[in-house]
Structure 1
Amino acid sequence: MTVIRPRQLAGDLSAPSRWSLDRLTEAAAATGPRSANGRSWAHAYLTRLRITDTLIIVGAIGTAFLIRFGPDDIATNLSGFPLQYLAISVAIAVCWTVALSAAHTRDPRIMGLGVTEYRRVASASALTFGVLAIVFLVAKVDIARGYFVLALPIGAVALVGSRWMWRRWLIGQRRYDHYLSRAIVIGAADDVEYVAGQIRDKSGAAYQVVGAAVDDPGLDAIRVKGESVPVVGGLADVTEAAGRLRADTVIVAGQPRGGSRFIRDLGWALEGTATELVLASRLTDVAGPRIHFRPVEGLPLIHVEIPQFEGGKHVLKRLLDVVVSGTAILLLLPFLLIIGLAVRLDSAGPAIFRQERVGRNGSTFTMLKFRSMAIDAEERLAALRAQNEGAGLLFKMKDDPRVTRVGRFIRKYSLDELPQLWNVLVGDMSLVGPRPPLRREVDGYESHVHRRLYIKPGLTGMWQVNGRSDLSWDESVRLDLYYVENWSLTGDLVILWRTARVLLHPTGAY
């Protein structure tokens, strides 16, 4: 951790002093409306979502109406069923809109989060049509099933798609410090640095850290990712600093001095203000769906689900693997043959490279890849060890002389990995999982790293969508372990989607 004390500030004009709260207040007042006040931009953004949702719902119902009946049928029966279906359509639109609001699909706390927002939209849409179907059946409302069934998928897909596009726009704006909620992070200096660093790393984190309040009276600023976060006071000064800096949120990092009583008193002090109180969880690498709150007589207990490595979820994961890999092999077969032919024509040796890798529970299997290196690559490895640019136990070189011309191209776009679809189909691998390790890597694992082997290795994974070869060894291990502990089918689908985007804009591939 890097902290800045008064004597260090003499030659560092970029680090604001603890006692420059007036200057920070003036800067807050001069900030543009897109970043000065989280509530103002949130209100405008939510208005856009409401308008978009309404237009999509009306468009989906209208499209389903036209597809089911056709313009000619509607025109010839203008005095009959269309008026009845007009009333039904209005009822569906109203119920659908109300359901989206009731499910908190536009809750400011989930804006830009992605999966949570999409899940709520899909659930609200499915619930709306399920309830309406029951009501129409019980009330014996005569309705064309084709029209009713068409409206749901059209609208649900469009709603999720619009939320995705709005999310991409919002994240793009946040990269320029727009549409962010102003936040003060409080607690011990090392906890503040960690939380502020995580917020700074995530463009969708929704917060702009404008100051810190710590329990060390000697600090003037905390260095986070090469930038200084000014210390605006001690823990007793939080309420005043939040008001003067126009902070939308106070984030409590870790366990501050004073414990639960301090947090209770802080909540009371913030009553009546526009500032929210957020507690940063100290549960590291535990995903949200595994955390549940169980209040017992006013005692807020946090229940953390223990990871399960057997059961129904894994059966569904296997089913997804078989369906997707089998379909992909059939559709891509001509493309695979072309790549194989290009590999053979480019250099001597077989088109397919076979290598022993370690799978689930330490079992070994033969992993398939398109050969991207010269046939004598393994023999030349020892001579290149001194030039290793890889992380930890991995060997990587950006300009590896063993890589062929075709090999460089197929590596860049991960086309060399496509034969592993067969490994997925036969059950050696999964579509998503930890990176498949070599035996020599496993032999060098620390004890906790062996948890990577609790589930099948993946054709892609969190390592694939977070930098690949540019990752450090520690970061690669952390991502794999996080996936093992927290995987879900929804998360797998998100990773597959992100993998497709990475293949179009490759980074860290060599």
Structure 2
Amino acid sequence: MTQVVADVMTPEVSTLGRTTIPRPRAAAPSAFVAPPLAPSSVTVPPAVVPPVADSRPTGSRRGPVWPAVLLDLGLALAVGATAWATGQLPAVAALALAVGWPLMLAGAGRYRHQALGQARSARVSVLAWSGIRAAVLALALAPWLGHADVTGLVAGVAALTVASGVPFLAGRRPRRPRVVLAGRSRDVRDLVAALEASGTHEVVAACLTRTAKEPLGGLPTYVGFASASEIAHRHGADAVVVLPGARLSPPEVRRLHWSLAGVGAELYLGTGLLDVEPTRTRVLSDSGLDVMHVRQPVLHGPRRVVKDVVERAFALVALVLALPLLAVLAVAIRRETPGPALFRQERIGRDGVPFTMLKLRSMGIDAEAVRDGLAAENEKDEVLFKIAQDPRITPLGRRLRKFSLDELPQLWNVVRGDMSLVGPRPALPSEVARYDIDPQRRLVVKPGVTGLWQVSGRSDLSWAESVRLDIKYVDNWSLRLDLSILVRTVRAVLGHHGAY
């Protein structure tokens, strides 16, 4: 069975698409014989590759799972004993709850080692779903558990779920998976930079197609892939990631998989896809044709209608509630500097249709006129124009921007249908005039009051990063993603990150 994994390294820096090939169950001698290593930038001491496919090196890199099992079993026994001692559950029900809980967690995958790209929230969701399944199972078996009280059973399951989650959430962050990258030097260099920025994985070595013209920092590098399994063993790697440019033939990939099984490491194959969520992919195999199918993004249909209706209704309610605050801010703006309180600016909406975007004025009325004189002080690249200490911003305007209060009038743009609550960054006509192929993708949906670009750094982002995040949002849109961005927007606004 082949499993597809394709996820985003947070905070929204890079995507590592890969196909996970499971380790074979039966032990078998390795059919992939590793020739002597050919290091290109570093020499490591010799190591012994275990000759048996399923044998693991002494002192496994991943660590034992028994401490977690024993901890959950101890918590389950404590909760069961307490429920029995207080009379909430009969002895049979308390014992079944204590013994069944670790088994339920084991079946849900709680004790499996962390996979590459697995978020910490995934472990929490395992606990939550285990609690729900355990509650349903307990209610179904209640008549055979000494006529246990339904309320007591549900309370016991809830207590177990919380008790098992507290040590995990309060404990230290799990160790980062250690990986060996295999591919062209430029691909490896780009991915190393992305993984270092995300801090989610540790690259311990690289296998290159040819000797690198420039060294990859202090990273141990080797030429060729035949000894990848031995390299993974020497550097204590959890996995080898083969990038698309490696050009390994199918038989070579299969043999590499066999040899990695002998050293306790997994194999991941890069897909070459950029910012594609796993929910949009699946592997198909038919008559010798093994391919990955990527679903088209959702740009139309019922879910888009739901998004539009819900956002307009929410924006209308929020705008009515915010009217007193808007009135106070409008008066304060007029008293600080002459001119209107509202700032109107033409922006480009869906399908390139222009509209007038509203904001509370945070600059002087001559801001647009003096912009050309500040061109030399622009701190951004290419299309964007941003200055951290912009002299055009008024003292009150700086406070408004700090808490994003200047964007409140955009709720009216949402009600009108010009904008969405969540969407790509609304672009100026001058920016759109300089768009090449990729940025044009932003214009297939409505721009948003907030978006993935805002919760990932706002004004601190470069032009390229802003474009990439907007395209990622467009292509992977879902109602769940919108909800996640709205929650993160609250944190971004309260934290004032990139607000200027």
Q: TM-score range by the shorter chain?
A: 0.7 to 0.9
Q: Which has the higher helix share?
A: 1
Could you tell me how far apart the structure 2 residues matched to 1:490 and 1:158 are? Answer: 28
1:101 to 2:106 alignment? yes
* 1:462–1:480 contact (8 Å) kept in structure 2: yes
* 2:422–2:450 contact (8 Å) kept in structure 1: yes
Identify the residue that residue 200 of structure 1 maps to in structure 2. Answer: 196
Identify the residue that residue 243 of structure 2 maps to in structure 1. Answer: 253
Deviation for aligned residue 1:481: 0.8
* Deviation readout 1:445-474 (Å, 9 max, x if unpaired): 224422212222112112112222232222
In the alignment of these two chains, the number of paired residues is 453
Could you tell me how far apart the structure 1 residues matched to 2:157 and 2:331 are? Answer: 45
Could you tell me how far apart the structure 1 residues matched to 2:164 and 2:339 are? Answer: 50
Identify the residue that residue 369 of structure 1 maps to in structure 2. Answer: 359
* Deviation readout 1:22-53 (Å, 9 max, x if unpaired): 3698xxxxxxxxxx999555547x95598479
> Which protein has greater RCO, CA pairs closer than 8 Å, 6+ apart?
2
Match of 1:181 among 154, 173, 177: 177
- Counterpart of 1:243 in 2: which secondary structure? helix
Deviation for aligned residue 1:213: 1.3
Identify the residue that residue 404 of structure 2 maps to in structure 1. Answer: 414
1:211 partner amino acid? A
* 47 and 244 in structure 1: CA distance in 2 versus 1, 3 angstrom threshold: same
Could you tell me how far apart the structure 1 residues matched to 2:290 and 2:256 are? Answer: 17
Within-5 A mapping of 1:53-452: 82-83=88-89, 98-105=103-110, 107=112, 108-109=114-115, 113-114=119-120, 116-130=122-136, 169-170=172-173, 179-204=175-200, 207-216=201-210, 218-219=211-212, 222-223=215-216, 227-296=217-286, 299-318=289-308, 320-322=310-312, 324-325=314-315, 328-329=318-319, 335-452=325-442
Could you tell me how far apart the structure 2 residues matched to 1:324 and 1:159 are? Answer: 37
1:113 partner amino acid? A
* 1:37–1:248 contact (8 Å) kept in structure 2: no
Identify the residue that residue 7 of structure 2 maps to in structure 1. Answer: none
Structure 1 stretches of 5 or more lacking a match? 1-16, 26-35, 66-73, 172-178
Q: TM-score normalized by structure 2? A: 0.75
Could you tell me how far apart the structure 1 residues matched to 2:404 and 2:204 are? Answer: 41
Identify the residue that residue 71 of structure 1 maps to in structure 2. Answer: none
Match of 1:21 among 25, 43, 58: 43
* 2:89–2:149 contact (8 Å) kept in structure 1: no
* 1:433–1:483 contact (8 Å) kept in structure 2: yes
> Quick check: 475-484 or 129-138, which moved more?
129-138
* 2:343–2:361 contact (8 Å) kept in structure 1: yes
* 1:254–1:282 contact (8 Å) kept in structure 2: yes
* Deviation readout 1:160-186 (Å, 9 max, x if unpaired): 8986666xx528xxxxxxx22332211
Q: TM-score normalized by structure 1? A: 0.74
> Quick check: 89-98 or 154-163, which moved more?
154-163
1:197 partner amino acid? A
- Counterpart of 2:250 in 1: which secondary structure? helix
* 2:445–2:474 contact (8 Å) kept in structure 1: yes
1:208 partner amino acid? E
* 1:291–1:302 contact (8 Å) kept in structure 2: yes
Deviation for aligned residue 1:431: 2.4
- Counterpart of 1:397 in 2: which secondary structure? coil
Identify the residue that residue 460 of structure 1 maps to in structure 2. Answer: 450
* 1:110–1:117 contact (8 Å) kept in structure 2: no
- Counterpart of 1:185 in 2: which secondary structure? strand
2:198 partner amino acid? K
Could you tell me how far apart the structure 2 residues matched to 1:187 and 1:498 are? Answer: 35
- Counterpart of 2:219 in 1: which secondary structure? strand
The CA RMSD measured in Å over matched residues stands at 4.2
* 2:42–2:221 contact (8 Å) kept in structure 1: no
- Counterpart of 1:503 in 2: which secondary structure? helix
* 332 and 292 in structure 1: CA distance in 2 versus 1, 3 angstrom threshold: same
* 143 and 43 in structure 1: CA distance in 2 versus 1, 3 angstrom threshold: same
* 1:18–1:221 contact (8 Å) kept in structure 2: no
Could you tell me how far apart the structure 2 residues matched to 1:151 and 1:500 are? Answer: 34
2:207 partner amino acid? A
* Deviation readout 1:74-100 (Å, 9 max, x if unpaired): 99xx87xx445x866765676665444
1:264 partner amino acid? R
- Counterpart of 2:424 in 1: which secondary structure? coil
* 162 and 436 in structure 1: CA distance in 2 versus 1, 3 angstrom threshold: farther
Could you tell me how far apart the structure 2 residues matched to 1:87 and 1:427 are? Answer: 60
- Counterpart of 1:463 in 2: which secondary structure? helix
Deviation for aligned residue 1:435: 0.4
1:170 partner amino acid? R
Give the fraction of aligned pairs with identical amino acids, expressed as a percent. Answer: 36
1:421 partner amino acid? L
